[in-house]
Amino acid sequence: MSASFRALARRAAARYPPRDRYARLFAYGKLTRDPVFEHILERGLVPRDSRLLDIGCGQGLLAALLAADGRHGRWRYRGIDLGARDVERARHAAGPAGDLVVGDIRSVPFGAADVAILLDVLHYLEPEAQSGVLRRVRESLEGGGTLVMRVADAGGGLRFRITTAIDLASARMRGHRVKGLHHVPLDERLRELESHGFRVEAIPMSKGTPFANVLLVARYDPKAP
């Protein structure tokens, strides 16, 4: 990780209130230890002036990062999460660019977007509900755009088992009543996205971690044959 990104992560963490020490520490730790955030910025996956839909946004780490970066023009951010406390934190992170909603991603309206973000979220839902969310994401990108989605690779052996165990423990620590996880095999997920008209690039996203994560960058162009 570059020194410049670490400095950016520090500025992003500072967007949370000084009294909320947990939010600041969590933000800096997550941004600097999880490779996905630096990758999203380095690859330019959120273009200038984008309408960004963050599904299962948590405390709005990506919003904090974009706001601290200051190079994304007049970006707009819609974040959705079940946790009221996290959504309130995300409001601080996003500032005036933010439209934050406490609600269930299975039913809350998504609105129009240029970029949709789904990081480590869908496996908490039953497979049928996962497919429903992806159909609505595709509708939100009607004018064309990109879905950035991270999933765990069930073929990852021990790394996959570590990933699922930590996911479950983390969800329960946050007070969510999670009985189990519902991981769709990677090849099946790729076929599903392609059936919705996406062109998908699968990128390993576990460097420096013990996990079996893959980032799916799925681009939709309504004018493509």
Q: What are the boundaries of each domain within the chain?
A: 45-220
Interval 40-62 mean pLDDT: 96
Over 90: is that where the pLDDT of 207 sits? no
Of 73, 31, 76, 32, residue with least CA distance to 53: 76
- Environment class of 162 (CB within 10 Å of its CB; exposed 0-12, middle 13-18, buried 19+): middle
Query: What per-residue confidence (pLDDT) applies to 223?
Result: 80
Instruction: Count other Cβ atoms within 10 Å, centred on residue 112.
Output: 13
pLDDT of 174 above 80: no
| Distance, CA of 75 to CA of 63 (rounded, Å) | 10
What separation in angstroms does the CA of 69 have from each of 12, 72, 96? 8, 8, 15
Classify the C-alpha dihedral 119-108-131-198 as positive or negative.
negative
Query: What torsion do the CA atoms of 192, 196, 202, 206 make, to the nearest 10 degrees?
Result: -70
> Is a pLDDT exceeding 90 seen at residue 25?
yes
Q: CATH number for the 45-220 domain, one of 3.40.50.1000, 3.40.50.300, 3.40.50.150, 3.30.470.20? A: 3.40.50.150
For residues 209 and 173, the model is more confident at 209
Per-residue pLDDT reduced to its tens digit, 117-155: 999 999 999 999 999 999 999 999 999 999 999 999 888
Summarize pLDDT for 55-112 with one digit per residue, the tens: 999 999 999 999 999 889 999 999 999 999 999 999 999 999 999 999 999 999 999 9
Q: Are 214 and 205 in contact (CB under 8 A)?
A: yes
pTM of the model: 0.92
